[in-house]
């Protein structure tokens, strides 16, 4: 089963992915956690380029770099792990590109969606948890951190990213589940588990 997590900075994705991994392991299943961009030596190098605040990258180059990192990760890690029966838990996947490059950078959406198909060989997550948080709460939670290149984009950019996530949720309600990220950690975890149990082939 392929499960992805989405959300803006500070939404608690990392905490929830770890809690979910512990739960899945406790049932005797094998899991792997990966993050995007990243997860292979090639994709981690691209991550460093994309997040480097001293490098200027135009929106099309940015899109293609995220997709290049994704193509490598999908073919080298995700598809083989799924074939071997692992639960693959991914911190971001192509919905991030739709939200950030499609809506945030305002690139042509059809072209962005075609890039996803090329990069993923058509692979889709079985379930995506969108940990939804307001922009003000996100900024408050990450105020102590040094901003990377992506985080330096302005307020208008992030408001468009949030609109993008809402649009995805509306178009794919079965796969793309909205979870209130402002809620209690344990309660959020229980909600996530209940969705997994409903979808799991081994329930």
Say whether residue 37 binds ligand TMP (CB under 6 A). yes
CA 122 to chain centre: 16
Say whether residue 35 binds ligand TMP (CB under 6 A). yes
Please, which residue, 19 or 50, has the CB nearer to ligand TMP? 50
- The residue from 2, 5, 23, 66 that contacts ligand TMP (CB under 6 A) is 66
Taking the complex as a whole, the smallest distance from the CB of residue 203 to ligand TMP amounts, in Å, to 30
Whole-angstrom CA distances from 2 to 6, 19, 30, 53, 127 are: 13, 16, 12, 32, 7
Q: Please, are residues 124 and 31 in contact by the beta-carbon 8 Å criterion? A: no
Say whether residue 92 binds ligand TMP (CB under 6 A). yes
CA angle 178, 179, 184 (to 5 degrees): 170
Say whether residue 116 binds ligand TMP (CB under 6 A). no
Rg (CA), the chain: 16
* Candidates 21-29, 53-61, 96-104, 112-120; binding stretch for ligand TMP (CB under 6 A): 96-104
Collect all residues with Cβ–Cβ distance below 8 Å to 168 and sequence separation of at least 6.
95, 98, 99, 130, 176
Say whether residue 158 binds ligand TMP (CB under 6 A). no
Q: Which residues contact ligand TMP (rule: CB under 6 A)?
A: 35-37, 66, 92, 96-97, 100-101, 150-151
């Amino acid at each position: 089963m392929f499960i992805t997590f989405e959300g803006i900075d500070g939404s608690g994705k990392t905490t929830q992915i770890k809690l979910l991994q512990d739960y899945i392991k406790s049932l005797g299943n094998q899991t792997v956690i990966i993050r995007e961009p990243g997860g292979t030596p090639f994709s981690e190098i691209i991550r460093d380029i994309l997040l480097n605040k001293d490098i200027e990258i135009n929106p099309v180059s940015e899109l293609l770099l995220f997709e290049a990192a994704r193509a490598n990760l999908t073919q080298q890690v995700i598809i083989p792990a799924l074939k071997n029966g692992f639960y693959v838990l991914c911190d971001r996947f192509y919905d991030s590109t739709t939200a950030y490059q499609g809506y945030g950078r305002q690139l042509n959406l059809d072209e962005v969606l075609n890039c996803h198909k090329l990069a993923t060989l058509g692979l889709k997550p079985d379930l995506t948890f969108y940990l939804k948080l307001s922009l003000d709460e996100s900024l408050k939670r990450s105020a102590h951190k040094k901003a990377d290149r992506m985080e330096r984009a302005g307020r208008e950019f992030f408001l468009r990213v949030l609109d993008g996530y809402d649009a995805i949720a509306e178009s794919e309600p079965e796969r793309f589940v909205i979870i209130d990220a402002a809620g209690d950690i344990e309660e959020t975890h229980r909600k996530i588990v209940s969705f997994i149990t409903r979808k799991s082939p081994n329930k």
